[in-house]
Amino acid sequence: MDSPFKPVIKVRADRETGSFLGSVRTLMEESFIPVHGAQITVIAGDTINTKAFSYVNGAYKNLGLDPHGTYKDLAAKEGFISSDMLSVEITEESKTEADFVLEASQE
């Protein structure tokens, strides 16, 4: 039986791509605390390009982005208010840092 799901795998040499990396934290009692399991989504235009999740230490990496592009970077996790960065540029071989501070939601 043919599946309607057709996976797409993009392959590029590291030297030809860019990346987002950084951390996701929250402020608690005047100290920054890492947020584990936050989803970081990279959007190009109106298309989701890639997703990653933050590690226990709050760090994340979105690798293999098309160079010379402008992206929106969004961090979200249940129990927190989402945070985004608009118009972040990526160039070949660049490692663009994007650190997020999520605020706990009042719900």
- pLDDT (0 to 100) of residue 19: 85
pTM above the 0.75 mark?
yes
Question: Rounded distance, CA 24 to CA 59, Å?
Answer: 6
- Check residues 82 and 95 and name the one with the higher pLDDT: 82
Residue 13 has a pLDDT of 53
Domains and their CATH numbers in the chain? 14-100 (2.60.40.10)
33's enclosing H/E stretch is strand 31-34
**Among all chains, which residue has been given the structure tokens 């990279």?**
42
Tokens linked to 1: 């039986």
Of 43, 34, 40, 68, the closest CA to residue 53 belongs to 40
